[in-house]
A and B are shown apart, each in its own frame.
Chain A
């Protein structure tokens, strides 16, 4: 967000400053004649003077020309086409004139000694060509930047740019502050915290109320509310359906048992009933998992917090896990790198780890090993227990690694029927880990198989 703030601020400020500079320049140019205008008037007066002095010379000779020069108080001279001074007693302005010998048909200015000499070609009424020369003590100003611009703009322009910067800053702040808030809220929402709302501006002035950003904040909150209620309704539905299924299932169980009692154990009926019982058990298990999941989703916080030693927790589930693994000719190994104590709910943690472990045993190849590794990693926020459970199963396509924690998500529908999972176990585990402010990720292992990594913040000692 700093990026956006910076971009808008810089662009606005530069644009504003450019507008100030350009408009100042335009005003200066408009108010003060530019060098071209000065030159034009200078040249025309040179031509006029040249014509007048040629007239004076033609009518009264050198004496009249001198009188003309005296009345105007200027140092002038006249030369012929070849550059020779016509009146010898007049100052020799043509000397030092590098190419004074050649007649030039336009006005030229040159530095001669300390003087600046203008030479203008003049054609008299008798069609004779002369060159009128006028000396000035100083060279004309101009050439280079017009100093008037700086002098005119000095205190005002920087002040205007600074004020522009300040107002732009405020403006951009007005833009980006609600954006920052919205972005934060959107991210929270994406993380699954559906209760996130953006606080609507409490400012009492009606100036800020009712602008588009406030409307956006309002709409965002509306969206979040709708999302929350929809997701809530879905979870409620799932829970209610599971709840309602329990009663018929309980009856089914008893009816089945009654049927078994009456059935002749040697007939085929018994095997059929056994099958029905297995399926009923599967159904019960699914419902219980769903209810666990929905009750966990309704939880925002773990209650019954207490210190839980992860090593002990894992040791407790290993005998059962080994038994299960043996049936598939697999083994379970546990490598504990450290003693990890976590502040949490023992039951939820047990369930999380057990679900992941069972999943690994279910998917690993026959005659392979399921590895459990426990270690402590120090992060900036503090110590984190890292629990990795790795199998040698078929692995998960890279694109689906993050989806496997969604309930009922299964990588391979055909396979899961034979392994007998519902795809709820990992969702339960992930939810439990999240309730402990932890993180759960899946990786593919080199050499085949999957690693599920659970990261849980350690209890502070």
Chain B
């Protein structure tokens, strides 16, 4: 049973979504105000938070910012459709994914599962893999990333992205491949979420490193993790 927190001011929608998600094995708690929603999100470690943007009390972006201040909890934003600003801002602040309203519930389910799969992948894996590239060290079992001895706090998507990139450092990985492997869906040129996640990842990696730009964008092709020193991959 996965615990899901639904923060949305549409009471009726919440009750229907609850009915729907329960059928697929989620335990859903619904909150209809921003301030109480934030409190609920900080009080208990949910597997996933479904967060609407327009909320009474505090808005969704603010809630996301406060959640991100002290945890990498999975957050899926339900944004306004047609407003590019909303979803870009959401991804910039660090949402794992977004879904424009009105959405198809099956699509919502698929996205929720993709997010949870990423988080769960490591836990169920028997192998304990530690990837090392230059000053970066990624432990897929413990889900930790250490850079120059300093731990880097990454969200689920960012972690998954870095993992894929670190598996083949120096190699250009196509956007299509990254989208399918990390986001769990087909690449869509209009979907900027991959870019946003990567730019957040880049920012976080740049904070503790002397190298500028660890993740390079190869125009029209994909992304590449640059190597500066020797690389190594260790298995214990």
Interface stretch (choices A49-57, A228-236, A247-255, A373-381): A247-255
**Does the CB pair B80–A253 fall under 8 Å?**
no
A 294-332 binary contact with B (CB < 8 Å = 1; else 0): 110000000000000100110011000000000000000
Interface status of A356 (Cβ within 8 A of chain B): no
Q: Chain A's interface: helix, strand, loop or mixed, by majority?
A: helix
* Contact partners of A254 in chain B: CB under 8 A: 13, 16-17, 20, 105
**Does the CB pair B10–A253 fall under 8 Å?**
no
Contacts A247-B10, A350-B190; A292 near B220 (Cβ below 8 A): no
Looking across the interface, which residue of chain A has its beta carbon closest to that of B12?
Answer: A251
**Does the CB pair A350–B189 fall under 8 Å?**
yes
B 1-26 binary contact with A (CB < 8 Å = 1; else 0): 00000000010110011011001000
Interface status of A243 (Cβ within 8 A of chain B): yes
Interface status of A347 (Cβ within 8 A of chain B): yes
CA distance A258 to B108 in the complex (A): 14
**Does the CB pair A247–B82 fall under 8 Å?**
no
**Does the CB pair B103–A250 fall under 8 Å?**
yes
Query: Of B20, B83, B219, which contacts A291 at CB under 8 A?
Result: B83
**Does the CB pair A250–B82 fall under 8 Å?**
no
CA distance A258 to B104 in the complex (A): 11
Looking across the interface, which residue of chain B has its beta carbon closest to that of A281?
Answer: B104
B residues contacting the other copy or chain, number (CB 8 A) = 25
CA distance A312 to B23 in the complex (A): 44
**Does the CB pair A351–B190 fall under 8 Å?**
yes
Interface status of B192 (Cβ within 8 A of chain A): yes
B 203-236 binary contact with A (CB < 8 Å = 1; else 0): 0000000000000000110000000000000000
**Does the CB pair A261–B80 fall under 8 Å?**
no
Interface status of B102 (Cβ within 8 A of chain A): yes
A339 nearest CB across to chain B (Å): 11
Interface status of A284 (Cβ within 8 A of chain B): yes
**Does the CB pair B12–A290 fall under 8 Å?**
no
CA distance A168 to B229 in the complex (A): 82
A254, A290, A316 pick with most chain B CB within 10 angstroms: A254
**Does the CB pair B13–A292 fall under 8 Å?**
no
**Does the CB pair A295–B83 fall under 8 Å?**
yes
A 165-206 binary contact with B (CB < 8 Å = 1; else 0): 000000000000000000000000000000000000000000
* Contact partners of A281 in chain B: CB under 8 A: 104
CA distance A294 to B80 in the complex (A): 13
**Does the CB pair B101–A250 fall under 8 Å?**
yes
**Does the CB pair B84–A250 fall under 8 Å?**
no
Interface status of A288 (Cβ within 8 A of chain B): yes
Interface status of B100 (Cβ within 8 A of chain A): yes
13 further contact pairs, Cβ within 8 A, besides A247-B101, A281-B104: A251-B10, A252-B102, A253-B104, A254-B17, A261-B23, A284-B102, A287-B81, A287-B82, A289-B82, A295-B82, A313-B189, A347-B84, A347-B190
A sample of 13 inter-chain contacts (CB < 8 A) reads: A242-B82, A247-B13, A254-B16, A258-B19, A287-B102, A291-B80, A295-B83, A309-B219, A317-B189, A347-B84, A347-B190, A350-B189, A350-B190
